[in-house]
Amino acid sequence: MNRNETRDYIRQNASIYLEPDRSGKGHICPVCKSGAGKTGTGITTKDGIHFTCWAGCFTHSDIIDIIGLEHGLAGYSEKLQKAVGLFGAGILEKGSSFRGSQGRPELAQVALQEADYTEYIEECQGRLEGAMPYLGARGITLETARLFGCGYDPAFSRGTGGVEWQALIIPPNPPSDGAKPDFAAFTARNMAPVDAGDRYRKAGGSSLFNTSALLQDSKPVFVVEGELDAMSISQAGGAAVALGSVANASKLADFLQALGGASPKKPLIIALDSDQQGEAAGLRLEAMLGGFGVECCKVDPYLGRKDANEALVACGLAALASALRDAEGAALKQGRLGGHLQKTAGARMQGFLDGIKAGGAPCIPTGFPSLDSALGGGLHEGLYVLGAISSLGKTTLAMQMADQIAAAGHDSLVFSLEMAAGELMAKSISRHTYQECLGQNGNYGDAKTARGIASGAKYAGYSTRELALVEAAMAAYSAYADRVFIYEGIGDIGAAQVRAVAEEHFFLTGKKPVVFVDYLQILAPWEPRVTDKQNTDRAVLELKRLSRDMGIPVLAVSSLNRANYSHAISMEAFKESGAIEYSSDVLVGMQLQGAGLKDFDAQVGKREDPRRIELVVLKNRSGPLGDPLQFDYYPMFNFFEDSGDAAVWEGFLG
């Protein structure tokens, strides 16, 4: 295979390298190991080539970029070379021209054999003390050198023209949190005073040094030129990544761009050498990083010296540590000030105008005319809570909304925490049998209950007419069923999982769904050690955050324990969780028609067919409240019919 064929083979066979996750639906992330834990949620792909880690390590990246990220490689050639080594030499066939072998397969094989220098580097590490006179003169302690996996070769001759060097051997990424170090490349530093051309040799490609520092979020990270500079900053209590050469500035930019959502949480401090070349490279790097949103600033913390190692030797560890702390403080202040200024209305104005020009978030009708009128046209971005005591049909109403929204062409994402997906489907098809009857002759004698739909044994007793009715109902449901996504859960779906699935839906389909949660109180607890009320409060806040961050409607069904059939629904019924009352954008309560009136008899109301239900808009952050909305509920056939007058509400809305 040539280079392009090799690349395509690796990209199309990522599963050779990736391990299945606990859920069996994705793979374990090689970078953060997401998918190996209790939830089993790993990385996913839509096209089999591009993957997304939902823990934030990368988005829409192929396996070559993922391997590069895993091993701290920025250049594409280095990433591809590493991938070839990991996938195995068997993918290279006779005549390969991979990595510049110019049709000579023996060179391609040698390149693969040299992709792992573990044995050599470990041998050099065993001789590290031989390099200590040199390192000690540069202010680097034995502890620091070991921390970064350094070694010593007293007779290094790779690429030296036959001259033996006493060389300090430096691998690109030392062990981090117990992880295996990257020994696919190394830098050999000539410890003798020599001209610039004989100072370094690199094996396995030119790599960034200590990229693991970019994945921590406890402090700002210094960007320096040399490996010894990065070690000096680490010894002084800082965190640093080294370019290895100013020519590698673009490699750092590529590496950070590949990180995506996992890019550093603290500012990068660009502190290249204090010379003309370093100054020019620093300006270029600042422009590149700023171009895709990485927070950075240029600072010289070297106390009048050329670089961090010179500052350590000339000024001492304490002075360098103090200068680094000052630089970190300045970077954090600059970053925080910049972030603070971005919160002004002036800074937000262009985005605000762009949103108006784009038409804003769409309003999605529920399919119930009076309810849509009461809500200003339907469901807008925000959190909607639908609350009722048992047996009033709150789940049925919510699922009918989900179906009607899907039938209108929008995606409904349903989290059913109590009923199985089959139960919900049977209820929907049951409703369609009733609607089909009404459309044909107004006689619903042949309509089927949910049990009549789900029980296969009953079909043998159905007449030809009844079977045709069921078939028509199933066809009506199937027309939009591909837009109803049902996630079942009993105690294992919480607000965080709802968010993850909604975001994944948007990533996979490009469509923003309307999210339905049935029901709020049985979401998996955010924190098992706190009270039910505290967990419900947190769930409400997280669902509200989801609606805001994605710009979508989220409708959560809520049970009510502090009300009864005879009392009119009110805000008091939602007091079980203060967050429902205060964080929801729209709060809708359901009650039997006439509840709270003097002569109201709840038992009579429950026996009526259809059952007369009122929807009361108790809170509407962006609209009026008005009178109760009237609905007829046919519980046997899971059907709500809007019996209200939308024109009344149109008067309220002007």
> In this predicted model, what pLDDT tens digit does every residue of 430-484 receive, in sequence order?
999 999 888 776 677 889 999 999 998 999 999 998 999 999 999 999 999 999 9
Q: Are 270 and 299 in contact (CB under 8 A)?
A: yes
pTM for the full model? Answer: 0.53
Phi, psi angles (nearest 5°) of residue 190: -65, 120
Q: Is the pLDDT of residue 491 over 80?
A: no
Q: Is the pLDDT of residue 91 over 50?
A: no
For the segment 591-598, the average pLDDT, to the nearest whole number, is 86
Q: pLDDT band at 648, cuts 50/70/90?
A: very low
Q: How far is CA 308 from CA 311, 347, 570, in A?
A: 5, 37, 67
Q: For residue 128, what pLDDT is reported?
A: 95
**Per-residue pLDDT tens digits for 111-166:** 334 446 888 888 999 999 999 999 999 999 999 999 999 999 999 988 787 889 99
Q: For residue 470, what pLDDT is reported?
A: 93
- For 636, the token pair is 């046997």
Q: Is the pLDDT of residue 579 over 90?
A: no
What is the Cα gyration radius of the chain?
A: 32
Q: For residue 92, what pLDDT is reported?
A: 39
Query: Whose CA is closest to 433, among 452, 414, 461, 419?
Result: 452
For the segment 94-121, the average pLDDT, to the nearest whole number, is 45
* Selected residue with higher pLDDT from 105 and 431: 431
Query: Which range is most confident: 4-13, 284-293, 450-459?
Result: 450-459
For the segment 13-30, the average pLDDT, to the nearest whole number, is 80
Phi, psi angles (nearest 5°) of residue 423: -65, -45
* Selected residue with higher pLDDT from 471 and 29: 471
* Selected residue with higher pLDDT from 511 and 571: 511
Q: Are 206 and 178 in contact (CB under 8 A)?
A: no
Q: For residue 260, what pLDDT is reported?
A: 61
Q: Calculate what percentage of the chain has a pLDDT beyond 70.
A: 84
CATH classification code of 369-653: 3.40.50.300
Q: For residue 19, what pLDDT is reported?
A: 80
Q: Is the pLDDT of residue 261 over 90?
A: no
DSSP 8-state secondary structure symbol assigned to residue 36: S
Q: pLDDT band at 547, cuts 50/70/90?
A: very high
Q: For residue 563, what pLDDT is reported?
A: 63
Q: For residue 112, what pLDDT is reported?
A: 38
Q: For residue 176, what pLDDT is reported?
A: 53
**CB within 8 A of 592, min separation 6: which ones?**
392, 565, 600, 602, 605, 606, 611, 612, 613, 614
Q: Calculate what percentage of the chain has a pLDDT beyond 90.
A: 39
Q: At CA 171, angle to CA 169 and CA 176, rounded to 5?
A: 135
Q: For residue 643, what pLDDT is reported?
A: 83
Cα 191 to chain centroid distance, Å, stands at 46
Q: For residue 574, what pLDDT is reported?
A: 79
Q: Which of 147-156, 292-301, 512-521 has the lowest mean pLDDT?
A: 292-301
Q: Mean pLDDT of all residues in the chain?
A: 82
* Selected residue with higher pLDDT from 155 and 357: 155
Q: Which CATH class for the 120-338 domain?
A: alpha beta
Residue 386 burial class via C-beta count within 10 angstroms: exposed 0-12, middle 13-18, buried 19 and up: buried
For the segment 413-426, the average pLDDT, to the nearest whole number, is 93
Q: For residue 342, what pLDDT is reported?
A: 60
Q: Is the pLDDT of residue 256 over 60?
A: yes
Q: pLDDT band at 527, cuts 50/70/90?
A: confident
